[in-house]
A and B are shown apart, each in its own frame.
Chain A
């Protein structure tokens, strides 16, 4: 099966600019996650979607970050304006966890977008 697709792979922007990341999950996976991984740390959940509804966005800096999942498939994550501390790898993951699926279905990750803010 095709894995989680993300683009772009790399992005370099200046602080205060905006940036957007795109994710296409594994076909049929209802649950989609965006994680932020800062160098030397484990991934941290930013937002979780179940189909096209938000399940958890408690750790999303809502003053600058936004995300949407139109039609319950693809998703975009946007940062506006970016700060230096936003430099990280942004990972998208999907799973079949949720109603009709196993609660503990593992997450399948894409290869991420490495963002550098200068």
Chain B
């Protein structure tokens, strides 16, 4: 059965203190790995899609990387506005179009 596990569950950072979030996955053929950001009271907001091991993508202070078993989301010199829950999701090759299985997320709080 496909499984997505994110760690840590929660992360408290000082502004400027870089860190990484982990997403480990077990899937019968990875079609894509997705990172989303979710603010309180809002729906998830798309950040990145990664397709193959070794791939990296960047957006502002965020950088996502992918290996055959896990993905990392690196937050470099975070600011308070980076506070959110970060969700990782996988799309299996046997699944229907766009069907995603999500992890439980990592709640990130960045303090000034």
Contacts and interface: CB of A to CB of B under 8 A. Distances in A.
B96 A48 contact: yes
A33 interface: yes
A33 B98 contact: yes
B65 interface: no
Contacts of B98: 31, 33, 48, 95, 97-98, 103-105, 107
A110 B43 contact: yes
B28 to A, nearest CB: 15
Interface residues of B, number: 27
Contacts of B99: 33, 45, 48, 56
B93 to A, nearest CB: 9
Contact of B104 (A42, A104, A111, A112): A42
Interface string A21-55: 00000000001010000001111110010100001
A112 B42 CA distance: 7
Contact of A104 (B42, B43, B91): B91
Interface of B: 4, 31-32, 34, 36, 41-46, 49, 51, 87, 89, 91, 95-105
6 contacts: A42-B103, A43-B102, A50-B96, A97-B97, A107-B98, A112-B42
